[in-house]
Chains A and B, each alone.
Chain A
Amino acid sequence: MFHSTKSRAAWGAALAAVLLTAGCGGSDDASADAADYDPDAPVTLTVGTFGTMDLDNAGLYDEYMELHPNVTIKQNNVAQSAAYYKSLQTRLAANSGLDDVQALEIGFIADVVRNHADAFVDFAAEENADELEGNFYDWKWGQASTADGETIALGTDIGPQAMCYRKDLFEQAGLPTDRAEVAELWPTWEAYIEVAEQYMASPTKPADSAFVDSPASIFSSSVYQGDLAYNDEEGNPIPAESDGVQQAWDHASQAADEGLTANLSQFGDEWNAAFSNGAFATIACPAWMLGYINSQMGETGAGLWDIAPLPGADESASNWGGSFLAVPEDGPNAEAAKDLVEWLTAPEQQVKMFTRAAHFPSSPQAAEDPEVVGATNEYFGGAPTGEIFGDSAANIQRTPIGPYDTQIQEAFTTALTDIASGGADPDEGWDNALKAAQQATGG
């Protein structure tokens, strides 16, 4: 008796270990058939998001659940978009554990479009595809579309860019502070660099302040003003031959080399601290950067900043960031999830996302809505943000994106940091950037 109890315990322990290891595998093959879809059946939808997408904070889920009492929405948010993407990739590889709706960031949409289009619902094949397509800027729709015309995600927000500047620091350096006059200061990036030199030479500006936070601010905003950024028309990386990279590099490396920047690495601790310390007078501002500045400086920064157009904006605007929502095809609630995504990304909801959470719409109808056009931002001296970013958004041209844009951009911005801290001259920096980009793309 005693013996068998002991044996059972032993085998139990062994079995538990086996189960533990086996529990990691196994996938859920349940998939919904469109024909069986009952829009009124109770359903719980999970939405995988990252960072601060604010779909919850803007109250959109609550609104949708009120309109559709049978639907319960649960959001799984991951703070870091890089971490979110890593887990999304492993889940795609295993085809298991995916949420009913998955948010996709611009930094990795190209990879998903190219390598995992089959895993997601094709919105271009929907009955209302034309209407859906008409809801978005064509470049935004294009970013989520494959070469053979499948569209795997619908856009949420975009990041049209402007240039934020500190009025107090400009005044101390003897520069104009009115946003119309500031706009005339820098019609081009060459002019912007000249203003930077003027600022740095000013004897009256605060001694430890630089003109711009980082060379990355210049590089990552002007790179998308070329015909090509990091890729050729097919989305293959060609950083060495692109006109956008070349011009962005020329301006940014000059600024880095001449010490016009505070040489901070963006999103690092020192960069965050530098906002409140007035360490720089300008920073490239995608629409979402306003919220970031506000959160870093709090009340003390109110009224110090204003917004002018990005240099070179007359010829071409520039976009930085933005996200999409996609529906995994094999999900058990794919039909209900599709309805949710179409509703969340519809122009009316995008207007709410802008007025409630300052995410700029990826839909021209929403961007032209009086509520958006007329929006001003008190924190930024009452700047007409709706108009500034709306003009910018309307001028964005479609630059082909690729799966390695984030990595290539990082290769260039770290090389620029190296130049600014005196570790390399611009020519060496260029070679280093290309080598690092080459390593990232795995060529």
Chain B
Amino acid sequence: MTIASGTVREAAIAAPPPAPAATSPARPRKRRQLTRNRWGYAYVAPFFLVFAAFSLYPFMYTAWVSLHETSLSNINGGTWVGLENYRDLLQSEFFWNATRNTFTIGILATVPQLCMALGLAHLLNYKLRGRTFFRTVMLMPYATSIAAATLVFSQLFGRDYGLINTMLEAVGLQAIDWEAGTVSSQVAIAVIVTWRWTGYNALIYLAAMQSIPGELYEAAEIDGASKWKQFLHVTIPSLRPTILFTIVVSTIGAVQLFGEPLLFAGNGTTSGGASGQYQTLGLLMYQQGWSNFHIGQAATTAWAMFMIILVIVGVNAVIGRLRNRADR
């Protein structure tokens, strides 16, 4: 797949540039094209209008709000403070705490999740009895609402009456106060995320695996490669663009992680635990805007999250491109 996309790009580059047309006939032709395609524009217009109203406008509005000191009930008033909110944010220990938590929970949730998804996809790629059943079951957690899943998990991880602690005690181990500890609470939240998304990613991997030509495996087998070697040297390289895609999507999801830590607290508080031990950036933004009603600060955090996502996606893209180039 990488090779294919590379060739297309090279082909495009190699193609001779279109001959520069004389300027006079070019303009009318362009206009004619615009009018000829006007129904095309009309048909895509609703999407872009809705996009402008519900994505672009809030996006710009958030930027504007982030330059003000204002409250939820006075959102159009407030005082212009320039970049002060951004300066305060960078100096706020709550922001850095939330950033740190977002990254550690993100890594705890994403890495095992994608590894397990890859393994599961590989297993499901074999001819199994009841394959459709397994594939459907894998997608079930994804179809469960975050709220329902988190409520069940936070009861499982309960300190006094949780099932997990009951089992730990049954085998003679000590009960853990999952919610109070930093590592334990982050692991618990990562488990919820992993449970929910592993099947989804496994199906994406599975779809990509099925498009790998069988000849590659046959050739590898003839060369005497074991199943494991085949997985390492045929499957993984063929899946690289897919893996990159899932990494990007999971990373964006991890930076935006919000519902799980909010509901994990169990009593609607937005501080992310007694010492903020599992407060993520999304939760911090919610706390600033909807618990403390400082909507300017919340908008600032929202933009900071957006920047972080841009940087991470950019880094991923650069790494992907470098690896592609290295392969060629």
| 8 Å CB contact of B161 from A265, A273, A432, A440 | A273
Contact B291 A266 (CB under 8 A): no
Cα distance, A441 to B73, chains bound together (Å) = 15
Chain B residue at smallest Cβ distance from A6: B39
Cβ-defined contact, A89 with B274, below 8 A: no
Least CB distance from A61 to B in Å reads 28
Contacts of B177 in A (CB 8 A): 421
Asked whether, in the complex, the Cβ of B45 is within 8 Å of the Cβ of A14, the reply is: yes
Interface flag for A423 (CB, 8 Å): yes
A423 with B50: CB separation less than 8 A: no
Is A82 an interface position by the 8 A CB rule? yes
B interface footprint on A410-423 (CB within 8 Å = 1, 0 otherwise): 11001101100111
Q: Does any Cβ of B come within 8 Å of A65's Cβ? A: no
Q: From residue 144 to 190 of chain B, which have CB atoms closer than 8 A to chain A?
A: 154-155, 158-161, 177, 180
A279 touches B160 (CB 8 A): yes
With contact pairs A421-B180, A432-B275 given, residues A93 and B160 touching in the complex (Cβ less than 8 Å)? no
> How far apart sit A439 and B265, CA to CA, in the bound complex (Å)?
20
Tell me if A21 is interfacial: C-beta within 8 Å of chain B. Answer: yes
A247 lies within 8 A of chain B by Cβ = no
Q: Label chain A's interface by main secondary structure.
A: helix
A13 is an interface residue with CB less than 8 A from chain B: yes
Query: Which stretch, B113-121, B213-221, B292-300, B308-316, touches the partner chain A?
Result: B292-300
Question: 8 Å CB contacts to A: which residues of B248-298?
Answer: 265-269, 271, 273-275, 277, 290-294, 297
> For B274, what are the chain A residues with a Cβ–Cβ distance below 8 Å?
414-415, 417-418, 421, 423
A90 touches B (CB below 8 Å): yes
- Say if the beta carbon of B123 comes within 8 Å of chain A: no
Which residues from chain B contact A26 at a C-beta distance below 8 Å?
A: none
- Determine which residue in B42, B94, B266, B274 has the highest number of CB atoms from chain A within 10 A of its CB, and name it: B274
Tell whether A37 is near chain B: CB-to-CB under 8 Å: no
Q: Which residue of A lies closest to B52 (CB)?
A: A21
Given A115-B73, A415-B274, residue A407 in contact with residue B291 (CB < 8 A): yes
Nearest chain A CB to B174 CB, angstrom units: 14
Q: How many A-B Cβ pairs are below 8 Å?
A: 122
Task: Report how far A13 CA is from B159 CA in the complex, Å.
Answer: 54
Question: Does A20 touch B at the CB level, under 8 Å?
Answer: yes
Residue of A nearest to B42 (CB): A10
- Among A111, A269, A415, max chain B CB count under 10 A is at A269
Q: Does B76 contact A (CB under 8 A)?
A: yes
Q: Is B24 an interface residue (CB 8 A)?
A: no
A11 to B46, CA, bound (A): 9
| Interface check B92, CB cutoff 8 A | yes
A68 an interface residue at 8 Å Cβ cutoff?
Answer: no
Q: Does B327 contact A (CB under 8 A)?
A: no
Tell me whether B72 is interfacial, beta carbon within 8 Å: yes
In the complex the two chains form, is B265's CB within 8 Å of A268's CB? yes
- Of B43, B73, B266, the contact of A265 (CB 8 Å cutoff): B266
A92 within 8 A of B: yes
Cβ of A52 within 8 Å of any chain B Cβ, yes or no, is: no
When C-beta atoms are compared, the residue in chain B nearest to A419 turns out to be: B274
Residues of B within 8 A of A421 (CB): 177, 180, 274
Residues on A with C-beta less than 8 A from B180 are 417-418, 421-423
Q: How far is the CB of B141 from chain A (nearest CB, A)?
A: 21
Residues of chain B contacted by A436 (CB below 8 angstroms): 271
CB distance from B189 to the nearest CB of A (A): 16
Shortest Cβ distance from A360 into chain B, in angstroms? 24
- Does B49 interact with chain A (Cβ within 8 Å)? yes
Query: 1/0 per residue A40-53: CB within 8 Å of B?
Result: 00000000000000
Determine if A93 and B53 form an interchain contact, defined as CB atoms under 8 angstroms apart.
Answer: no
Residue of A nearest to B290 (CB): A86
Chain B interfacial positions (CB closer than 8 Å to A): 39, 42-43, 45-46, 49-50, 53-54, 69, 71-76, 92-94, 154-155, 158-161, 177, 180, 265-269, 271, 273-275, 277, 290-294, 297
What are 9 inter-chain pairs, A to B, with CB distance below 8 A?
Answer: A13-B42, A21-B54, A89-B73, A265-B269, A414-B275, A432-B275, A439-B292, A440-B292, A442-B292
Closest 10 CB pairs between A and B?
Answer: A268-B267, A418-B274, A21-B53, A89-B73, A10-B42, A421-B180, A268-B266, A417-B274, A17-B46, A17-B49
| A17-B50, A404-B292, A415-B274 known, 13 other contacts, Cβ within 8 Å | A10-B43, A17-B45, A17-B53, A82-B268, A92-B73, A115-B71, A270-B161, A277-B160, A277-B161, A410-B291, A414-B274, A417-B180, A435-B93
